[in-house]
Structure 1
Amino acid sequence: MGREIGSTEYTRGQRTRYRHDLRRNLDLFETFLDTAEFVDEGTIGVELELNLADATTMAPSLTADEVLATLDDEGFTHEIGRYNVEANLPVSIPHGNGLADLERALQARLDQVDAAAREHGARAIPVGHLPTITEELFAGEDWRAPGHRYAALESSVLEARGEEIALRINGEGRGLEASFDSIAPESACTSLQLHLQVPPEQFAAAWNAAQAIAGPQVALAANSPFLLGRRLWHETRVPAFVQSLDTRPPEYAAQGVRPRVWFGERWITSMFDLFEENVRLFPALIPESRLMAEEPLLTPGASPRLHELMLHNGTVWRWNRPIYDPGTDVPHLRLENRLLPAGPTPADMAANAAFFYGILHSLVFERRPLWSRMSFEQAADAFEQCARWGLEARIRWPRVTGRVRVADLLLDQLIPQAMEGLRDLGADADVVERYAGILTGRARTGRNGARWQIDTVTSLEVRGLDRPTALAEMTRRYRAGVDSGDPVHEWPVPARTPAVGA
């Protein structure tokens, strides 16, 4: 969730000064972006958010403090929930054996957290939503991790909204309709975040490409079908995250005010477009000034730290977010891809990364860019449809008449294109073959993490289990699947044999 801050409350004067400093940061960034030299190594990075579940009941385990103390490693940190842990992986490369190294690093990080969690009666679960979360968990404040940043964020969101947070998500039956006096549902959303270092001149193309393929990307990886006991979207993280951090009362939403969790509304021509939109459209949530944070304006390498701009950028949750990092000597720019759920296995997550890095490389260098052949509204609609229906979604796509089943689009066009992009990046042939096999198998069977969870719970309920028991049993089987190391499309699903007399 970002760096720690020093306060949870701010005066009107502090907010006014922050607004002025933020605009000065933006002007400085515009000049700096046009004149500075940036690191251009094409490196990749990964952040993985994990859930902690009681080893016996599979209910959320509020043991993050203890688990992190046992880990005693700067590579792990708190997330907003006390049942969450975030793992940061070393910077890597997409060529050669880099993606296989990423898979091994994901496995190592997962094993470390799980071993520490076992010491406290818990297990680490890499999944978009922990299926056993209940509304009772969010009734008090025990769910929240320590730190001023989380308290300040919650206070600012609720103050701006002026009323309780409402979740209204379509699904089976009436779907989910619930209200909360905190941003607690945001803690249910755990993700795999992919970073790509991008030179300034390529950033607009990379961001546009990432937006254009966001729908198929989330369909391929969907892994969050259950929230608070209800079966909802295949990737319920998408609407849950949007609504959990929605600072708009309903009247503002009706007026067209943008949400803080945002897909966007147009293709861009420069990275600056995104920062300018953030400053122009969104008021500050955490107005901590550079002086309050005791940060210098310049680093030893003379790259401006732009404290206010970077802090503000961290409170506008774009699914593809621009990142400016002043570094120690030379600054760099990154694209942060935030739409993937955690899990299911390191093999699945590395395959998801292979798809993203491969397809992005291919699209950036296309003679006629994909985003020039589709409207932004078309890309946004595909993202929503794919989050809702996963590999079963039907979307509009350039040069396709009507709507196409996204699984077919992935098999026929996008997965092969992504693998060609990996080859062009210099990935080893056996690495390309491994992840092509996982991605193709997933699309061909239609079984991503969401589909496996839905089919397993359905089978267990047919056999006589009620929903809470089925969710707990499914989560146990899910963790067993993670232990197997097999990609999710190869996991078994229990037979739908009804109990005698049912």
Structure 2
Amino acid sequence: MGEEVEEQEFGGSDRGRFREKLRRSLDVLARMLEEQRFDATDPMTGLEVELNLIDDRGMPALRNAEVLDAIDHPDFQTELARFNVEVNVPPTALHHGGFGRLEQSLRERLDEARQRTASQDADLVMIGILPTLGPEHLQAPSMSADSRYSVLNDQVIAARGEDIRISIEGAERLEMVADTVLPEAACTSTQLHVQVRPDRFAAYWNASEAVSSLQVAIGANSPYFLGKELWRETRIPLFEQSTDTRSEELQAQGVRPRVWFGERWITSVFDLFEENRRYFPALLPVVDDEDPVAVLDGGGTPGLAELRLHNGTIYRWNRPVYDVADGLPHLRVENRVLAAGPTVADTMANAAFYFGLVRSLAESERPLWSRLPFAAADENFHAAARDGIAAEVAWPGHERIAATELVLRLLPAAHEGLVDWGVQPAEADRVLGIIEGRARRRVNGAEWLVRRVRERSREGRLAALRATLLDYRDRMHTGEPVHTWD
């Protein structure tokens, strides 16, 4: 949720007005889809990376305001906690060297940011969850000053009606209770955007859902939270639970969670926005002055502010996005399953694998999702989060198959998809070679972290986590992909 929201209280009339305006926005969206009002001439891709801040001892640095002042660049923004920032890389088309420009932009921004923050006792780290976080870092004073976060926090807690209970059982077990949504801030991700034509949106979203398990298995990078070794991609269960507005009774009744994989393959982007309206009460019922019908009738492009704001408070792992750029509306799939890091090289390899494989599957004559039950895709996703590089998944033609073996089999399809986007074959070989290296060596960020911490077990858990995180930080800044670190 990137929109600005002022401190305010909401009443029943606000929610009623918002609901009606949301229905009106959906009617306008349906018209726009029917009338083919969307820009699809030169599809763009984009990239956002959430970053953690640590001090020279490897502990969280609650200094994002000072860091952002030092960086002084509009592409860097606040995130929920004071130990987080986010960098947005300008969108670009992948052809004619666009993928290389995306990678260069990310490298340049991070290098410049690190130089400017050297005096702030705060270094940038790309990692799914800071392993040195403690309960004291997840209290209200750690929340960023931006009012949108406090408003969202208040609404989530009010909707739930009780404290948030988090229970994760992996290699070790974690039980905790939180009275804010700040455990969500522990989860830092890489978000990939791909713009698609409305008539192809369903295929790209379905393909994104199908491959999410493979993305997580090969890219897992958050095995520790609050000193405990949990899932290889602990971000997944932690994020699902820390923003859950449902009480235990509502969960038992089958009410949908706000962090959601989904429950079915779709036939249109409208299906997802309609599900948003039908299943999820508004957390932030802020009503805009725009009359979308009048704007559309007048030949303009409606902003659909209510639709966008509501969508921003429903955290699908593959989220539909309606946006307007240069006066033209477009649609994107926002892929949110990946942890941040470990390096720029790894991040771009993850992006290449996603962009290429999704295009190949979405444009296939025989859709994968016609042969893979949606429930199996959901189960695959959570199995990959739990087991990481060691995961096994269900796949057409296989009862179960090792995720690493399936990734290797699908690399040619990912390569073909990248070339179809306009990426040069040599560049596709280079970045996908990193995915191949991880799969063959069975090493990703999570595996590297766990092995190193276990090697240091005699030092005590916190000391081992701190030393390993600093080692990780230093290796991250070399730029060499994680599967080559040892």
**TM class by shorter-chain length?**
over 0.9
SS at match of 1:90: strand
Q: Distance in 1 between matches of 2:83 and 2:339?
A: 16
Q: 1:122 deviation in Å? A: 1.2
The one-letter amino acid paired with 1:193 is Q
SS at match of 2:284: coil
**CA 1:91–1:297 in 2, change beyond 3 Å: closer, same or farther?**
farther
SS at match of 1:132: coil
Q: Distance in 2 between matches of 1:58 and 1:380?
A: 35
The residue correspondences of 1:442-453 to structure 2 (distance < 5 A) are 442-453=438-449
Length-normalised TM-score, structure 2: 0.97
SS at match of 1:61: coil
Q: Distance in 2 between matches of 1:375 and 1:8?
A: 44
Decide which moves more: 24-33 or 314-323: 24-33
**CA 1:297–1:119 in 2, change beyond 3 Å: closer, same or farther?**
farther
Task: State yes or no: 1:415 paired with 2:416.
Answer: no
Q: Distance in 1 between matches of 2:293 and 2:275?
A: 25
| Structure 2 equivalent of residue 149 of structure 1 | 148
Q: 1:295 deviation in Å? A: 11
Q: 1:129 deviation in Å? A: 0.4
The one-letter amino acid paired with 2:430 is R
Residues 49 and 87, structure 1, Cα contact 8 Å, conserved in 2: yes
SS at match of 1:403: strand
The one-letter amino acid paired with 2:169 is N
Q: Distance in 2 between matches of 1:440 and 1:44?
A: 23
| Structure 1 equivalent of residue 19 of structure 2 | 19
Q: Distance in 1 between matches of 2:438 and 2:154?
A: 41
Q: 1:301 deviation in Å? A: 6.5
The residue correspondences of 1:245-264 to structure 2 (distance < 5 A) are 245-264=243-262
| Structure 2 equivalent of residue 427 of structure 1 | 423
Q: 2:455 aligns with which of 438, 459, 464?
A: 459
| Structure 2 equivalent of residue 132 of structure 1 | 132
**CA 1:295–1:181 in 2, change beyond 3 Å: closer, same or farther?**
farther
Runs of 4+ displaced beyond 3 Å: 293-301
The one-letter amino acid paired with 2:439 is A
Q: 1:244 deviation in Å? A: 0.6
Deviations 1:131-154 (A, max 9, x none): 111111123x22111122111111
The residue correspondences of 1:479-490 to structure 2 (distance < 5 A) are 479-490=473-484
Q: 2:221 aligns with which of 220, 223, 245?
A: 223
Residues 28 and 292, structure 2, Cα contact 8 Å, conserved in 1: no
Q: 1:198 deviation in Å? A: 0.5
SS at match of 1:333: strand
| Structure 1 equivalent of residue 162 of structure 2 | 163
How many residues get paired?
Answer: 484
SS at match of 2:388: helix
The one-letter amino acid paired with 1:381 is E
| Structure 1 equivalent of residue 332 of structure 2 | 334
Q: Distance in 1 between matches of 2:273 and 2:471?
A: 43
Q: Distance in 1 between matches of 2:75 and 2:68?
A: 10
The one-letter amino acid paired with 2:32 is F
Give 5+ residue unaligned stretches, structure 2: none
Deviations 1:276-320 (A, max 9, x none): 0000000000001103x9999749971111111110010110011
Percent identity at matched positions? 46
Q: Distance in 2 between matches of 1:488 and 1:207?
A: 29
Q: Distance in 2 between matches of 1:185 and 1:118?
A: 27
Deviations 1:244-284 (A, max 9, x none): 10000011111111100000000000000000000000000
Q: Distance in 1 between matches of 2:18 and 2:328?
A: 26
Q: Distance in 2 between matches of 1:133 and 1:75?
A: 26
| Structure 1 equivalent of residue 305 of structure 2 | 307
Q: Distance in 2 between matches of 1:246 and 1:46?
A: 26
Q: Distance in 1 between matches of 2:106 and 2:192?
A: 12
Q: 1:355 aligns with which of 343, 353, 356?
A: 353
Q: 1:19 deviation in Å? A: 1.2
Q: Distance in 2 between matches of 1:8 and 1:184?
A: 20
Length-normalised TM-score, structure 1: 0.94
Residues 169 and 177, structure 1, Cα contact 8 Å, conserved in 2: yes
| Structure 2 equivalent of residue 117 of structure 1 | 117
Deviations 1:36-63 (A, max 9, x none): 4211112101111100001x21111011
Q: Distance in 2 between matches of 1:377 and 1:38?
A: 32
| Structure 1 equivalent of residue 471 of structure 2 | 477
Q: Distance in 1 between matches of 2:325 and 2:97?
A: 26
| C-alpha RMSD of matched pairs (Å) | 1.6
**CA 1:246–1:216 in 2, change beyond 3 Å: closer, same or farther?**
same
SS at match of 1:213: helix
Residues 292 and 304, structure 2, Cα contact 8 Å, conserved in 1: no
Task: State yes or no: 1:384 paired with 2:382.
Answer: yes
Q: Distance in 2 between matches of 1:148 and 1:177?
A: 29
